[in-house]
């Protein structure tokens, strides 16, 4: 069993969420969604698992949604759709106390500028 499991995780910022989801369902790109609705697609249906002992890195261009994805995983921002499970526990259904416990004991985030890994 994976220690982290992300399924169809999405975040849309704006006021026309339902319409934006429908456009994404039709295969529209995030640029098209922005043009048609004024909504910004921060993360579009991310899916991945992290297994015990794995080093998992999220990389991408500036503005590609990396920080938004991390904030969705630790629920600093609420997802529009999808699920986040840590050791089988669904973070979306956790109360604040349990969520704090998971954040303290199971999750962390480190920004690139701290240079934990050498670039060699």
Query: Residue ranges per domain, the chain?
Result: 4-114
Per the DSSP assignment, residues forming a β-bridge with 83 are 7
Q: How confident is the model at residue 119 (pLDDT cuts 50, 70, 90)?
A: low
Phi, psi of 114 (to 5 degrees): -80, -15
Cα distances from 44 to residues 13, 49, 59, 75, 76, in angstroms, run 11, 16, 15, 16, 17
- Alpha-carbon span 6 to 83, nearest angstrom: 6
60-112 per-position pLDDT tens digit = 888 899 999 999 998 999 999 999 999 999 998 899 999 999 989 988 777 66
pTM recorded for the entire structure: 0.85
Statement: residue 26 has pLDDT above 90:
yes
- Alpha-carbon span 32 to 111, nearest angstrom: 30
* CATH class of the domain comprising 4-114: alpha beta
**Average pLDDT of the residues of the chain:** 91
């Amino acid at each position: 069993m994976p220690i982290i499991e992300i399924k169809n995780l999405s975040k849309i910022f704006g006021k026309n969420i339902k319409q934006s989801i429908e456009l994404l369902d039709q295969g529209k790109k995030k640029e098209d969604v922005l043009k048609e609705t004024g909504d910004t697609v921060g993360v579009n249906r991310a899916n991945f698992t992290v297994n015990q002992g794995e080093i998992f890195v999220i990389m991408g261009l500036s503005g590609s949604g990396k920080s938004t994805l991390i904030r969705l995983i630790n629920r600093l921002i609420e997802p529009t759709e999808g699920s986040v499970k840590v050791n089988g526990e669904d973070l979306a259904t956790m109360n604040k106390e349990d969520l704090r416990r998971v954040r303290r004991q199971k999750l962390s985030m480190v920004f690139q500028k701290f240079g934990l890994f050498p670039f060699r």
